[in-house]
Chains A and B, each alone.
Chain A
Amino acid sequence: MKKKSIISLILGACVLLSLPSCFNLDEEVYGTIPADNFGKNEGEINAIIGPVYNTLKKYYNNFQYVSDLGGEMSIVPTRRGGDWWDGGRYREMHFQNWTNVTGVLVSGWNAATQSVSSCNLVYETINNSESLTPEAKASALAEIRGVRAFWIYALCEYWGNVPLVVDFKDTDLPTNKPRQEVYNWLVKELNEIKDLCRSDVSAASYGKFTKGAAYTLLAKIYLNAEAWGVDSGKWQQAADACDVVMGLDYVLEPNWKTNFQVHNESSKEAILAACYSAQDTQDRHQMHYRTLHYKDNIALGGTWSSWNGTCALPDYVKRFDTEDPRYHGSFLLGEMIDPATGQVLITAHDRPLIHTVDVTIIPGTERDGTVWGDVQQEDGGRCNKWDYDKATLNAMENDFHIFRLADVYLMKAEALVRMGKDLGEATRLVNAVRERGYGHSGKNYDSVDLEKIQLERKFEFAWECHAHQDDIRFGTFWDARWLKESTKGKDYLAIYPVPLAAWQTNQNLKQNPGYPSF
């Protein structure tokens, strides 16, 4: 009996342990979808491509600092008491003594390189998909390549020598490619896709990478090739690309502000747009937080509470003609009135809330033996470009137009002037933008030169991530301004250092010339 019992016990155990269900460790997935099961129809394919376009939101969110703090446009001063000191990162951006750990630049690098990777992943997915017609697939792939080319262009502009990884299956740790090689690739890539992209200018093409975007990007690359030190005399190619864009259905919006209104997707001037939604919770448009004073919302009728951060560089504001509607259209200046009392609002430092053009260091607050110190809370002109919707909570609805037609006009004018060709056409193009800005032709130029074109770009494109590129191309990037001393002779500053954090994960990366090597 005993023996039998033991045997049956062992048998029972064996039966139990041999049942596959007793050793099954498969995961059942509920809230997410295994990669193999997704992308089976057009709707799903579009949903996969969606994140490619969403990367463009990261451009404005990060490069408004990367571009406009490094060049002549904006600053983030340290406010009385220490707000926005943040370890000195904004001082480094203004003084141009950035390092490989400067926070603003690390964020920019990460945004750009991750966006390239995202594009590569989606490209790979779509390329392998069997759910699309050949035409639909070709068009989708061209769009993805276009957005990826934009990001590689951004890397080329700001860091010059960058990893050039365009195949998701390539998992080797990349090294930096020389800027020349990156430029060559960009030219080739854009020439390949420029006519594969859709050419319509419609509600359906808004927010997409179109033929107009491809040619505008190409024009930018040609126009900056000399400043990048990778090519010369590409002015005609730049002008030609601009001509193609101007031949499409874009129009210079009669009202300049149409480009910046809350629902600016109606603008027919927009060529490439980062589309923001006030309902979104990822990569939001938060300029209202960044720039406005803690109490500006009261004057503007909103309920949000802002951060009192970035403001315009005084030198930049002072270049404006105060009669130019774009002056107040770009900067929030003057007394901030409490609508309830009709009185000027008072700050927590017991000072009237008046945004001045000048931003003045409070004597005695200078830090670490530099001239950088604290400024009053209310100092500085705030961004007033995108209309503030009173109903805004923590995200603005206004889209950001990365490329718009006015830029193409001014690029072509610049290319013509640089070639010494058809100054009349150049003048006509600049005046078109200027007249639209002023609302009348009274301030039109008789003729234009490079200086006038650069100035016009400053009037037109405040807060639009043009400062870095334009100032370098026109040679004013190194000039002294506000607290910054001249950095003339330090040509290497035109490209930023590769972040230490990037090198720590990939030691094949090399530091850019002029900066201490890793």
Chain B
Amino acid sequence: MQRKKMFSSFRHCRLALLTVLMSFSIAAAHAQSGTVVGKILDELGEPIIGANVMEKGTTNGTVTNLDGDFSLNVSNTQRAVLQISFIGYNTVEEALRGRGTISVTLEPSVVNLGEVVAIGYGTQTRREITGSIANVSEEDFNKGITRDASDLLQGKVAGLVITSGSGDVSRESQIRLRGTSTLQNDMGPLVVIDGIPGGEMSSVAPNDIESISVLKDASSAAIYGSRGAGGVILITTKRGSGSRTQINYNGYVSADVMANKPKLMDASKWREYAKASGQDYAVYDQYGADTDWFDELTRTGISQNHGLSMSGGTSKSNYRASYNFLDRTGIMRDNDMTRHSFRFQFQQRAINDRLRIGLTGSATITEMNLPRGQNFVLAYSMLPVYPVFNADGSYFTKVNSEYDQGNPVQNQDLNQDVRNNVFFYGAGDIQFEILQGLLIKSTLYTHRASNERGQFNNSATEQGQGDSGWARKTSNSNNRNLMEWMLDYNTEFGAEGKHKLNAMLGYSWEENVSTSFYATNRGFLVNDLSYNSLQSGTGLKTGDVNSSKNMNRMISTFARAHYSFDERYMVTATVRRDGSSKFGKNHKWGTFPSVSAAWGISQESFMKDITWINDLKLRAGYGVTGNQNGLGAYKSLELYGEYGVYYDSGSWLTSYRINQNANPDLKWESTAMLNIGLDFSLFKGRVGGTIEWYDKKTSDMLYRYQVPTPPYVYDRMMANVGDMSNKGIELLLNIDVVRNKTFSYNTSINLSHNKNKITKLSNDVYTTDELYVGDPWLRGGSGVISHIVKEGYPVGTFYLLECNEIVDGKYVIIDQNEDGKITDDDRKIVGNAQPDLTFGWNNNLRWNNFDMSLFFRGTIGNKVFNNPRAAYANNTYLIGTNALDDPLTYTMKESSRICSYYLEDASHIRLDNMSIGYTFNTKNIGWLDKARIYVAGQNLFVITGYKGTDPEVELYRGAATDDDAGLSPGIENRQFFPKSRSFTFGVNLTF
């Protein structure tokens, strides 16, 4: 009766299956519930106090007491599996098989082989994994000010390069896994939050993150098909536990100071120079000022973060709710960010634990003030003898119309660039155990991301004067709906369950709809209205009002099978079939397969006698993943779009044109990767690590290739043409140097080497030999490029006039073709921005209740073009424009040129993170579970031969979606936002 009613009301396709699922509720079997008691011991036979004992797959659990004993009620003593974990030891899974008493001995290990790791549409223990997956959990996260998962991970995973080249607190890090693998819109890895692909990193507060998995090779990432080529980052958030109710407070305050600034001439140096060069400087130097413009633009930033969470549950349900407030004040006076993050999760089980329903809701509200790079350009040029304010207190504006000059402090004070982001998401999942080991799961997800931006340039300022005031208001939104269905089957057979099989089958449907709107105006009579009264402007131009909307849809089916025998032989195979509306009509669907296998060598009988090897596992995997980020919606279609105006009989009308060279053959770009790895754990688990080698080949690379006009209308066309190769080796080593009850020292190092090469840029239709990209800038350097994209060379190859010395103030530029002239033909490949080696080195020390960590990271062998030195270490604009206090400034006898003289080795090592903490003994305080205080310092020093501000520079300046973003890395731009050095004091309390 009940079922019939439900059937008639569920008409929608996505709910049909749910009904089928519900029908199984009748088939519920009777279970044997009971209590299990046990003891947990360490390798010496001593009891372990505080070990976690959890019933696998549930929230039911407890901790061991002072004698290492526990007692737990389980719903089915035949089927229950207990997971026993303790920090520094391998997690153990113990199947009860009807036993009422157990005793388990844990083995110490620097690598937790029993750890459960998210692998994409599922989890596996570290022991079972056949692909290349790195997992970082909370205790290893970076300390101090952290904005999102990338800040937590930076430097921790071999092969995952997270670049924070900017001191702009509103700017996200740039992430590359195992090198650059595409030419177009490299968005870095796909972010998956609690199983939902395509999430926003900023939507999860660091306090809410339990662990982060990085799927590094294609055999792991292929389950994400056409979006997996850049790698996958899986973020798992914290959940409530049925065993205890907790309230946690995590708070810190930080002070940021400018870590490094360009050294410009001060007033006395400038005067000295003016005198020495016999110039009359009275016209400039009439204010008695000695202004350090970089100091004027910056401040000490004070930041604070407060995170509060509560969690708990029963044996049938669990919940966690959290709120996090981050208030980050940048060192630039016009740069700050505040963020409110809310999150709740609720899960409940029913029908003898066979049905599980979960709900997640999250809201992130961010407000930001974005800094203007132009102010730093002005700070380089403005004379130190100019004041910020005139004697009467008004802004000094005398040189505001001078080229590259003007009062940057006035810009900061009077102009605005405010952005508000709101991100909401909700997800619900229903999981039902149809038969023992067979689960069906459905997930529904929806999000709305919207942002508003207001920009205003006051007409009195250098930035606004040309337009007599300029204002823009922008709003964008993105709606995403996702539905997933999964069937998951787990079984064990053979003696002691030595054969294990896991199979999964899934379907996913998702749709993205994005809209944007902006309006601009200029010519404002008053400045008081900012961007809040665009209609009061008088300078509306064609294209100043703009709105657009687009959509794309993606549909996928996917499957995975994993088989293992006795933890000796393991094999995993996956396949995903993706269809995307963005692809051309001739290639709507693509298939992405993978297979990987692992051999647990240490489990073999012939290894039993080798006691110094605790674990040894050889892995090999091959897979194909895709990338479609390079592809905007509609690139395969012939469409008319508005394009400017045309004159007709005295009026201006809107003209329309076909807006692109349509390509109906567009498809995903595919990346095949072979990965071979060796995991080891030696000397009673005191030395652990992984060595990996990979060979990654991207083909059918999406890019805006050059095409001839005619026959084409536009000289660029989105197409699948080129190939790129990345080969590399990675090493992770983790050593317990000292380990005893009062003192321990653990050190871990990760090294990665990646060799990138563009192997093909042409085919029969598209013949691109080389592309010139990169826009270093100095006066007189317009249109001079810095990089070449060329077959046989890596991305980031510098292509410049070669100059190795300056003699008598003049560049000695090498005439490569010996034709007696220095022209563009004399440019040469002179270096590369990609490092030979990237490393991270972490040290954890613990002495009684004190803990300390020191984290260094750096690169070896990369080059950076020191653009500020090229532009400002010269005297040709002195004395009307300031210059760097650099030896070149005093000796140059010709105007600056873009050449290899300014290409510098940017190898460096940075003490990125250092923290010292103290954990209070709370055993005697009943209401307090844990209390810890810490101090942390970030970006404490850099050792480098690089002469510029900082050797770590951004891969690109604008957005990842900009044309050619990421193809000219390794330029320290003039608009370089100085980075900060941060000092943090934090408290962590758990009740």
In contact, A303 and B468 (Cβ under 8 angstroms): yes
Is A335's beta carbon under 8 Å from chain B?
no
Assess the B708–A367 pair: CB atoms within 8 A. Answer: no
Q: Mark out the residues of chain A between 88 and 118 whose CB falls within 8 Å of any chain B CB in the assembled complex.
A: 88-89, 92, 97, 99, 101, 103, 110, 113-114, 116-118
CB distance from B605 to the nearest CB of A (A): 40
Give Cα A35 to B879, complex, Å.
Answer: 58
When C-beta atoms are compared, the residue in chain A nearest to B552 turns out to be A27
Contact for B16 among A15, A49, A120, A347, CB less than 8 A: A15
Query: Interface size (A, Cβ < 8 Å)?
Result: 113
Determine the chain B residues whose CB is within 8 A of the CB of A53 once the complex forms: 646-647
B551 lies within 8 A of A504 (CB): no
Among candidates A21, A347, A505, residue contacting B767 with C-beta atoms closer than 8 Å: A505
Q: Does B706 contact A (CB under 8 A)?
A: yes
Query: Which single member of A117, A279, A364 contacts B893 (CB below 8 Å)?
Result: A364
List chain B residues, Cβ under 8 A from A374: 876, 895
Instruction: Tell me if B876 and A80 are in contact (CB < 8 A).
Output: yes
Check A84 for interface membership: any CB of B closer than 8 A. yes
Interface size class on chain B is: 35 or more
Q: Are B555 and A298 in contact (CB under 8 A)?
A: no
Residues of chain A with a CB closer than 8 A to B544's CB: 281
Question: Cβ of A304: which chain B residues have Cβ within 8 Å of it?
Answer: 466
Q: Is A210 an interface residue when CB atoms closer than 8 A count as contact? A: no
B648-661 Cβ-contact flags toward A at 8 Å (1 or 0)? 11101111111100
Across the interface, do B709 and A29 meet the contact criterion of CB distance under 8 Å? no
From B820, which residue of chain A is reached at the shortest CB distance?
A369
Residues from chain B with a CB closer than 8 A to the CB of A204 are 649
Any B CB within 8 A of the CB of A350: yes
Contact at B780–A83, with CB atoms within 8 Å? yes
Q: Which residues of B contact A89 (CB under 8 A)?
A: 783
Contact A51/B637 with A280-B542, A368-B813 known, Cβ cut-off 8 Å = no
Interface string of B543-565 (1 = CB under 8 A from A): 11001111111010100000000
Out of A2, A29, A80, A370, which one reaches B637, CB within 8 Å? A29
Is B13 an interface position by the 8 A CB rule? yes
Give A473 Cβ to nearest chain B Cβ, in Å.
28
A448-463: CB near B (< 8 Å → 1, else 0) gives 0000000000000000
| Interface pair A114/B715, CB less than 8 Å apart | yes
* In contact, A83 and B656 (Cβ under 8 angstroms): no
Residues in B neighbouring A121, C-beta threshold 8 A: 658, 713
The answer to whether B897 touches A348, judged by C-beta atoms less than 8 angstroms apart, is no
* CB–CB A110/B876 < 8 A: no
Chain B residues whose CB sits within 8 angstroms of the CB of A82 once the complex forms? 778-781, 876, 895-897
Provide the residues of chain A in CB contact with B770, threshold 8 Å: 504
Smallest CB separation, A366 vs chain B (Å): 9
Contact flags A1-18 to B (C-beta < 8 A → 1, else 0): 110011011011101110
Q: Are A1 and B548 in contact (CB under 8 A)?
A: no
Inter-subunit contact A12/B16 (CB<8 Å): yes
Answer whether residue B361 sits at the interface, using C-beta atoms and an 8 A cutoff: no
Q: Look across to chain A and name the residue whose beta carbon is closest to the beta carbon of B469.
A: A303
A62 at the interface (CB under 8 A from B): no
**Contacting chain A: which of B235-243, B490-498, B575-583, B946-954?**
B575-583
List the A side residues contacting B706 at CB < 8 Å: 501, 504-505
What's the minimum C-beta distance from A324 to chain B, rounded to whole angstroms?
Answer: 32
- Complex CA distance for A376 and B657, rounded to whole angstroms: 44
**A97-B769 in contact given A50-B656, A305-B401 (Cβ < 8 Å):** no
Contacting pair A88 B823 (CB below 8 A): yes
Set of chain B residues within 8 Å of A165, measured between Cβ atoms: 710-711
Which residues in window 268-285 of A have CB below 8 A to B?
275, 277-283
Which residues of the partner chain B approach A171 to less than 8 Å between Cβ atoms? 711
CA distance A12 to B440 in the complex (A): 12
The reply on A168 being an interface residue by CB < 8 A is yes
Q: Is the CB of A31 within 8 A of B548?
A: yes
Given A86-B780, A304-B466, A305-B466: A168 touches B711 (CB 8 Å cut-off):
yes
Alpha-carbon distance A386/B535, docked complex (angstroms):
31
Binary contact readout A284-325 vs B (1 if CB under 8 angstroms, 0 otherwise): 000000000011011000011100100000000000000000
Is B612 positioned at the interface, with any CB of A under 8 Å from its CB?
no
B880 beta carbon closer than 8 Å to chain A? yes
Asked if A92 contacts B823 (CB within 8 A), the reply is yes
Asked if B284 CB lies within 8 Å of chain A CBs, one says yes
Q: Please give me the residue from chain A that is nearest to B282 by CB atom.
A: A350
Contact with B along A113-151 (1 / 0, CB 8 A): 110111011000000000000000000000000000000
**Which residues of A sit under 8 angstroms from B898, Cβ to Cβ?**
87
Cβ-based interface call for A85 (8 A): yes
- Which residues 19-55 of A have a CB within 8 angstroms of B? 19, 21-35, 38, 44, 46-51, 53-54
Known pairs A31-B547, A81-B780, A277-B652; A282 contacts B644 (CB<8 A) = yes
Contact of B657 among A8, A30, A118 (CB under 8 A): A118
Bound together, the chains give a CA A365 to CA B821 distance in angstroms of: 16
Bound: A349/B875 CA distance, A: 11
Taking a contact as CB atoms under 8 Å apart, the answer to whether A348 and B647 are in contact is no
User: Within the complex, which residue of A6, A84, A174, A305 is in contact with B711, where a contact is CB–CB below 8 Å?
Assistant: A174
The interface-forming segment of B17-25, B82-90, B852-860 is B17-25
Are B711's CB and A173's CB within 8 A?
yes
Mark interface residues in A472-500 (1 if CB within 8 Å of B CB, else 0). 00000000000000000000000000000
Among the listed A80, A279, A297, A350, which residue makes an inter-chain contact with B280, where contact means beta carbons less than 8 Å apart?
Answer: A350
Asked if B641 CB lies within 8 Å of chain A CBs, one says yes
Residues of B within 8 Å of A103, CB to CB, are: 783
Closest 9 CB pairs of A and B: A50-B655, A82-B895, A82-B780, A50-B646, A348-B880, A85-B780, A275-B647, A506-B708, A30-B549
Q: Given A50-B645, A82-B896, 10 more contacts at CB 8 Å?
A: A16-B485, A35-B639, A85-B897, A114-B714, A117-B712, A117-B713, A118-B713, A275-B646, A280-B645, A304-B466
5 A/B residue pairs, CB under 8 Å, sorted by A? A12-B20, A28-B551, A86-B780, A279-B652, A393-B466
